[in-house]
Structure 1
Amino acid sequence: MSFLFWYFPLINLVAFSIIGIDKQLAVKQIWRISERNLLFTSILGGTIGSGLAMLFFRHKTSKESFLLRFYGIVLIQILILFVLFYSGVIEY
């Protein structure tokens, strides 16, 4: 099977999980996972997992600076997919 077949579900599961863990840590008011690491999983392909976790756990949904960077990552990934699709690298 393809590497990407396993990679994307796994990275999205990791992204979902670490946002859930960060929410639990925030509630307990103890050491937190840095926003840099949360966003890094999105950059690696976990934007769907991160987005779903933000909605599910109601975490980071009101922090404008985080949302701006997150949606920037989403926009860049959409543009990359658009270019790859229309250049013929990705086929439908």
Structure 2
Amino acid sequence: MENALIAWIGIMSVYGFILMGLDKRRAKRGEWRIPERTLWTVALFGGGIGCYLGMQTFRHKTRHTSFRLGFLILALLYVGAGIWLKTAA
């Protein structure tokens, strides 16, 4: 069970990272954007680490305080959860 949750967090984090990069590229090109609601949903359901790392890597949404703080808090929660799951097993 613990490994499945850690795997889920990993998969969602990769997905969140990709979405942040894709949305940044679309923003630069003036194309259709990924809704902020989608980014938040992915972050809330396990992708907080990837969304935060994507935000920092692609310098995307960094001016939005809600994203800076929210993604950071979610990333820290998921890192903590992963550590707790590994040590509790």
| TM interval, short-chain normalised | 0.7 to 0.9
Note the alpha carbon deviations across 1:58-82, whole angstroms, 9 max, x for none: 000012343354356457x47x95x
Q: Which residues in structure 2 correspond to 1:69-88 (within 5 Å)? A: 69-71=70-72, 73=74, 77=77, 81=81
Instruction: For residue 91 of structure 1, report the CA deviation from its aligned partner.
Output: 2.3
Find the aligned partners of 2:44 and 2:57 in 1 and give their Cα distance: 20
Greater Cα radius of gyration, structure 1 or 2:
1
Q: Tell whether 2:17 aligns with 1:16.
A: yes
Q: TM-score, normalised to structure 2's length?
A: 0.74
| Aligned equivalent of 2:61 | 60
Q: 1:14 to 1:55 in 2, by over 3 A?
A: same
Q: 1:22 to 1:55 in 2, by over 3 A?
A: same
**8 A contact 2:44–2:74 mirrored in 1:** yes
| Aligned equivalent of 1:91 | 88
Find the aligned partners of 2:45 and 2:37 in 1 and give their Cα distance: 12
Whichever structure has more helix as a proportion of its residues is: 2
Aligned residues: 83
Task: Say which structure, 1 or 2, has more relative contact order (CA 8 Å, 6+ apart).
Answer: 2
Gaps of 5+ in 2: none
Structure 1 moving runs of 4+ over 6 Å:
none
| Aligned equivalent of 2:45 | 44
Paired AA for residue 10 in structure 1 = I
Find the aligned partners of 1:28 and 1:5 in 2 and give their Cα distance: 35
| Aligned equivalent of 1:29 | 30
